[in-house]
Structure 1
Amino acid sequence: MTRMVNCVKLKREAEGLAAPPYPGQMGVRIWQSISKEAWEMWIQTQTRLVNENRLNLADARARKYLAQQMETFLFEDGDVEAQGYVPPPQ
């Protein structure tokens, strides 16, 4: 059976994640209120942030930055995008 959540990012009911995708309280918060679709959107954005900003994920500052960007993207409806990123033409 599909688990449904009221996704705060998409502002509608959608299929939820099977398990918390992130450690700790933030992971539980994401699992409870972020859909699978919105999480995939974040993963794509996170990949661009890491690549375009050349982040080293072994660096605690880079991980903290990504965590802040994730919270802004998922819960605050903030505009999060890599500096200088230009989407490919449709």
Structure 2
Amino acid sequence: MAHMVFCVRNKKEMEGLDEPPFDSEFGQKIYKNVSKAAWGEWVERQKMLLNEYRLQPWTPQAQQFLVEQMEEFFFGSGSALPSEYMPPSQ
């Protein structure tokens, strides 16, 4: 049976992640409150942030920035897009 959560992003009961994304208290918070669908949205946002800000994901500064953005994305006001960001045209 799937792990179900009340998703903080989508405001409804949805299938949750299979396991916590991190071995930390924050990872547990995400596991208990974020759906697979919302996590997929975050993965796309994270890719955009990495590219727009030209972040090196292995550096502590980039990791801290991404954690702050993730916290805002799921539990805050939603994480602002970079001011220069232009969505790709389809």
* Fold agreement, TM-score > 0.5: yes
- CA apart distance, 1:88: 2.6
Matches within 5 A, 1:1-90: 1-90=1-90
- 1:50-69 per-position Cα deviation (integer Å, ceiling 9, x unaligned): 01100012221111011000
- CA apart distance, 1:26: 0.6
Cα distance in 1 for partners of 2:41, 2:20 equals 16
Which structure has more relative contact order (CA 8 Å, sep 6+)? It is 1
Which SS does the other structure have where 1:6 is aligned?
A: strand
Runs of 4+ in 1 over 4 A off after TM superposition: none
Aligned letter for 2:10?
L
Given that residues 17 and 36 in structure 2 are in contact (C-alpha distance below 8 angstroms), is that contact kept between their aligned partners in structure 1? yes
Instruction: Give me the CA root mean square deviation.
Output: 1.4
- 1:34-80 per-position Cα deviation (integer Å, ceiling 9, x unaligned): 00000000000001000110001222111101100000001113233
TM-score w.r.t. the length of structure 1 is 0.90
TM-score w.r.t. the length of structure 2 is 0.90
Q: Which runs of 5+ in 1 are unaligned?
A: none
Which SS does the other structure have where 2:14 is aligned?
A: strand
